[in-house]
Amino acid sequence: MMTAEDNETLTRVGPGTAMGAWMRLFWIPFYPSGGLSPDSQPKRVKLLGEDLVAFRDSDGKPGLVANACPHRGAPLMFGRNEECGIRCVYHGWKFDISGKVMDMPAEPEQSRMRERVRLKAYPCQERNGVLWTYMGDAAEPPALPEIEFNLVPAENVHISFRVQECNWLQALEGEIDSAHAPILHGRIDGGGAINQWVAGQDLRPKFECKRRDFGVSIASRRIVDAETHYWRVNQYMAPFWTLVPPQSKFPELSGHAWVPIDDETTLCLMFSYTPATPLYPKTREVLANGHRGRETGHASVNAFEPQPPTTPYGDFRTRFRPDTGYGFDYQSQQTSWFSGLPGLWIQDAACQSGVAPIFDRTQENLCASDTGIVMTRRMLLESVKAHRDGGARPAGADKPETFMVRAISMHLPAGADWETAGSGPMTARVGADFGYVL
């Protein structure tokens, strides 16, 4: 059972917290590139509890700056994005993407304040449709992490963003828990691909976990028959990444970044990609628009309920939330869907967020299927405390190649070692196919 103190350490991410400081060692994906256009409306963003504004200047360069103007604290979310800078509407102070003052129209021309005042700003980079920021205190930020979804050609990947109303760890733990998948996502009427899935034939998987430089491999074994075992290996990658194995009916790799907005809200970046070929057009259509009125693993274009510009990530708020009941339908629970919830990501989100934004983990009763969660928590606590107490840095903070990893799902002879058999397929190589038969 987890202590209240450890639960606090893992879930609190704001400035001055041990977890927040550890996460700042890494580059953080924070916005889709296509969501910001030159001189367009600035967007309110919140990351690790910090109130920020994202914009793209006249030259197309992305900026991420504090929302509060350093003059009198007026909100820059209402700022004028013009002529290579963002201008506060209160007194007209203007700043570039580095936070340098460009203009102070209400001050005397000879004032030296322009040399002293800076707006807090974080460096940004973009790659393959995703904007990243580095919020650490290193004089020279490390290289962007090499995570395969963000390296393959654009035609191979589909990316979506949404907000989830719970702490980042609750969301992450839901994805490294593969025991729930054939149960929560199943049907009671015998229809659908999940019910035909091999994982659904053995609901008592055996788990084996291994620590890695990147995080933790969580392997689950299911018995197919006397000669064959089915192994699925999910991956947790520091600080907030999860990778999900492919299925034969859905031959793509997928995963999430569970980026903390604050202690009680999470930005969910989901990616689905094929490593060697373009995504099927039908797959991309279903991921973007849903399937027969239901949601897939991605939030569809129909799921969003945009909020005012004063709401952080207002463009990525959905109508499936605790206060709306997630679209739960008791009738469908009686006749078709085991959960009564309208789609994959909603089913997960409702279970992760439906009780409390931060669950009291001292009340849990963990069991054999939670082996991966236990090891991940232990690794996180050790890594965070080692950084807090001695400045230790995890491998992935400085070695971008650490994250060239894949999740796998393989049929192996009974008794075969999953780690040996999966060593090659678990190594990501841009342009290389799965390396085994799904």
The answer, yes or no, to whether residue 301 has pLDDT greater than 50, is yes
Pair 125, 222 in one domain: no
Q: How far apart are CA 205 and CA 65, in angstroms?
A: 47
The whole-model pTM stands at: 0.95
User: Is residue 284 assigned to a domain?
Assistant: yes
Q: How far apart are CA 237 and CA 152, in angstroms?
A: 19
Pair 125, 171 in one domain: no
Pair 130, 152 in one domain: no
Q: Which of 90, 106, 134 is the last residue of a domain?
A: 134
For residue 389, the domain's CATH number is 3.90.380.10
Look at 1 and 224; give whichever has higher pLDDT.
Answer: 224
For residue 81, the domain's CATH number is 2.102.10.10
Domain that holds residue 361: 148-422
Pair 77, 116 in one domain: yes
pLDDT at 131: 98
User: Is residue 8 assigned to a domain?
Assistant: no
pLDDT at 193: 55
For the segment 390-402, the average pLDDT, to the nearest whole number, is 96
Pair 112, 235 in one domain: no
pLDDT tier for residue 179 given thresholds of 50, 70 and 90:
confident
pLDDT at 187: 84
The answer, yes or no, to whether residue 183 has pLDDT greater than 70, is yes
pLDDT tier for residue 195 given thresholds of 50, 70 and 90:
very low
pLDDT tier for residue 354 given thresholds of 50, 70 and 90:
confident
Asked if 56 contacts 97 with a C-beta cutoff of 8 angstroms, the reply is no
Pair 153, 105 in one domain: no
Pair 129, 201 in one domain: no
Condensed to tens digits (0 to 9), the pLDDT of residues 205-251 reads: 899 999 999 999 999 999 989 999 999 999 999 999 999 999 877 78
Number of domains in the chain: 2
